Amino acid sequence: MPTDLDSMVKVFSRPKSLTEARSTYCPGCQHGILTRIIGQTIDELNIAERTLIIAPVGCSVFAYLWYRCDAVQVAHGRASAVATGIKRADPNLVVLSYQGDGDFASIGTAESIHAANRGENITVIFVNNQVYGMTGGEMAPTTLIGQKTTTTPSGRDAAMFGYPIRFSEMIAQLDAPVYVTRQALYDTKRIMDATKAIKKAFTNQVEGKGYSLVEVLATCPTNWHMKPVDASRHVVDVVTKVYPLGDLVDRG
Amino acid sequence: MGEKVLLRGNEVIAEAAIRAGCQCYFAYPITPQAELLEHMAVNMPRLGRTFVQAESELGAINMVYGAASVGVRTMTSSSSPGISLKQEGISYLAGSSLPAVIVNVVRGGPGLGDIAPSQCDYFQATKGGGHGDYHMIVLGPSTVPEAGTLTMLAFDLADKYRTPVMILADGMLGQMMEPVDLPDPIDVASLPKKAWATTGAKGRDPNIILSFDLDPEVLKRMNLELQRRYREIEKNEVRYEEVETGDADIVIAAYGTTARIAKTVIRMARAEGIKLGLFRPITLWPFPYAPLKKLSERVSTVLTVEMSAGQMWEDVRLAVAERAETPFYGEMGGVVPTPRGILREVKKYAH
């Protein structure tokens, strides 16, 4: 007896460029969403065979496990310099430098700024969750004023620790970058926008246009001590007020 | 055949690297190696190869890490304070088994020191200047032509053992001009393919370059593999030179520029009837312990001479033990020992 079971079509599955490896991210963490978006983009652009993933130091240190792509694990903060070396050695490779806020905007400040300023033809995804997740929730360069972390137990005090750094705005001051944007993942619309931005950042590289940076505001329910939904709400209500969403540069 | 030219040591190292098929060079300016960087700035782009003046030594060594991952021959160069900054990257290169060549044109230290010749970075180079249980091959040229041949060799050894290799020169070698027979360029296409390189996972499983694993048992295995390779290097790659050691009663142990000066001292000493010889390590790591041990059995004294407070001296004493006297003479801070000054030391032990 025929039923509609026979006519079922699979409309959603894991991107081909993602492996079956078990995630090391905490429940509610948005790195996972981002990983899926990247996998999907690699599939759509059909570039898995020539993509190199740079795994940084931090929560995403295991990024070399997630993709069916070659990968290079690198020193803390140096991802953009390594990306430079890879891309200059073989311009046909598509290089993703995936970096957290401590990696990209603190210890790697010089490498990040200068790779952007040289207009290296690479794609950088900069995950801003305002905290050092891997080491136990210490202050990040992006930590908000008043935000409690394990190294700012009374909240970040600007007089003592300075202000949350708007790194993408700094990069946007440079002449070379072709695309600098800030995205978020707190709801479906934002996830779709971020997906578009990431595809554009990869497409720019494939077309040889130059340096693209996608900053992504992500949640860290574990170290923010919030439930995942509350954490997303915090991004909407608080984080985006300090880090406004949208394109900062688009010369593509 | 090659061509005969008059060049500075820094330029010879650069030219040798080009002829060894170095595809990507990354560095940051510092005296006394600036001519190396400048030679590469002119010549690498002309050959369609990569030259990047990095934002820092950290930038440069990590660009090397990236280029090495892709499997091309790559190099960086600097001088002492800059090499200190590169130590993080060198540890990662060693941990990830990536071949690369690093040139240190050593200057006086510690700290900012000065820009004059020194051998004060021997410990850092040979004992692992960065973190972790690693070594790199360290080659100590003594003349400008040898700086060229050892640079060519450095690229071969780096590839053969998947390890960083350091050329440990000094400000004298970097700045001095000598006639050199430049070797013919190698045919890069003839080099063995690097199956481990991250060139894109096309028609194979992904390659991953890393020095990392959170499982201590796995990391231990990774360490054991490095150690296995180090034992192989120690077995196969020890290089040294002996000069007039056949009838010698006293032997100078010296490397690099100091060894070259010692050759003059041998002539002066022998004119005065002192049977003086020279033992010159060419590989500083692996250090030639066994041949020096053998030599020490038939001499009264092994006098170590260095432009440092006595760094290689420790390895000399390990090799010689109690078989001979092991005095030391050193100059520091960029002061180069004179033949007369060394001879005066030699005479203290001539009976």
- Is the Cα dihedral A47, A245, A27, A71 positive or negative? positive
Residue B1 has pLDDT above 70, yes or no: no
Question: Across the interface, which of A75, A81, A92 has its CB nearest the CB of B63?
Answer: A81
Question: Across the interface, which of B69, B72, B89 has its CB nearest the CB of A75?
Answer: B89
* Helix ranges, B49-185 (H): 57-70, 80-95, 122-126, 144-161, 171-175
Contact B92 A88 (CB under 8 A): no
Percent of chain A with pLDDT over 70: 100
Give the residue numbers spanning the domain of A195: 31-250
Number of domains in chain A: 1
Contact B55 A90 (CB under 8 A): no
Q: Looking at the domain assignment, is residue A1 inside a domain? A: no
Q: For residue A252, name the pLDDT band (cuts at 50, 70, 90).
A: confident
Instruction: Work out the mean pLDDT of chain A and round it to a whole number.
Output: 97
Residue A4, pLDDT score: 80
Residue B351, pLDDT score: 78
ipTM of the complex: 0.96
CA distance B119 to B102: 16
Identify residue A103 by its one-letter amino acid code. D
- pLDDT per residue over B164-221, tens digit each? 999 999 999 999 999 999 989 999 999 999 999 999 999 999 999 999 999 999 999 9
* CATH code of the domain in which A132 resides: 3.40.50.970
How crowded is residue A158: how many other Cβ atoms within 10 Å of its Cβ? 10
Show the domains of chain B with their CATH numbers: 3-236 (3.40.50.970), 240-348 (3.40.50.920)
Residue A5, pLDDT score: 79
Q: Looking at the domain assignment, is residue A215 inside a domain? A: yes
| A-B contacts (CB, under 8 Å) | 133
In the stretch 204-223 of chain B, residues with CB closer than 8 A to chain A read 206-212
Contact A82 B52 (CB under 8 A): no
Tell which residue, B152, B294, B164, has the closest CA to residue B233.
Answer: B164
Instruction: Work out the mean pLDDT of chain B and round it to a whole number.
Output: 97
- The distance in angstroms from the start CA to the end CA of chain B is 49
Q: For residue A9, name the pLDDT band (cuts at 50, 70, 90).
A: confident
Which chain B residues contact residue A86 at CB under 8 A? 66-67, 69-70, 198
Question: Across the interface, which of A50, A55, A89 has its CB nearest the CB of B23?
Answer: A89
Hey, is the C-beta of A84 within 8 angstroms of any chain B C-beta?
A: yes
Which chain A residues contact residue B58 at CB under 8 A? 78, 81, 110-111
Which chain B residues contact residue A74 at CB under 8 A? 62, 65, 92
- pLDDT per residue over A199-209, tens digit each? 999 999 999 99
Hey, is the C-beta of A49 within 8 angstroms of any chain B C-beta?
A: yes
